[in-house]
Homo-oligomer: A and B are copies of this chain.
């Protein structure tokens, strides 16, 4: 049995019973308790379980209440990978902006063990994720709730973003194209992202590989406008050269110093 399979099975049991016991799982899967504990460590890092003496209980954060469309996640593994790299780029004490993308939610999750971070975001989901943290400063942009989403947009949000300046802005997008640059499906979101980039010293684009060579509806900014690109697979030679010529530092599968 593969490790991943086992962890998935453990998660199923955890969701069914709301708790698991290390000794039981150890007997069930014929592995040592250490292995089980490491599994639970992983589940805890992903925010799904809460370890306790003797086992773990289901972490029913506030996610149970989230609409189905929000809970449904694509490319989780890739986003975790990206989040991990971004995590290594953020330093304790940093002031950062995070957009309302699902990638940014994973980034927020991964950053939680760091101390003393200031976050500005227009994502309700990220606020939720960070609602149990202590010692951080978490700011919401405010604004209008975009229908069918958990993103805040509009005048109030824009005003708030432009009135701050941070170390790093970390955003995601729908499409990355050499000619058309960085694009998104929605004008309001795109505008917010553009303003976040403008308000940061370091502009970080975090996108999974599926977004390359795609063009979406509205332009956020040019490729040359960003400072750092983080992605999950090794990018093609053509892209490497493009980014090099634009002075964009790339962290991809073969070129991320955190592993």
Within 8 A of B (CB), among A81-140: 124-125, 127-128, 130-134, 137-140
Q: Which of the residues B132, B148, B156 comes within 8 Å of A160, measured between beta carbons?
A: B156
Which chain B positions have C-beta within 8 A of A21? 2
Whether the pair A142, B145 counts as a contact (CB closer than 8 A) is no
Whole-angstrom CA separation of A144 from B160 in the bound complex: 12
Whether the pair B57, A5 counts as a contact (CB closer than 8 A) is yes
Interface of A is mostly: mixed
Q: Give this chain's copy count.
A: 2
Whether the pair B148, A144 counts as a contact (CB closer than 8 A) is no
The reply on A13 being an interface residue by CB < 8 A is no
Interface size class for chain A?
35 or more
A binding-site residues for B, Cβ under 8 Å = 2-5, 19, 21, 52-55, 57, 62, 65-68, 70, 124-125, 127-128, 130-134, 137-145, 147-150, 152, 156-157, 160
The 30 sampled A-B contact pairs (Cβ below 8 Å) are: A2-B52, A2-B54, A2-B55, A2-B57, A3-B52, A4-B53, A4-B57, A62-B125, A65-B128, A67-B131, A68-B131, A70-B131, A124-B131, A127-B145, A128-B128, A130-B145, A131-B148, A131-B149, A137-B144, A138-B145, A139-B143, A139-B144, A139-B145, A140-B140, A140-B141, A140-B142, A142-B152, A142-B156, A142-B160, A156-B160
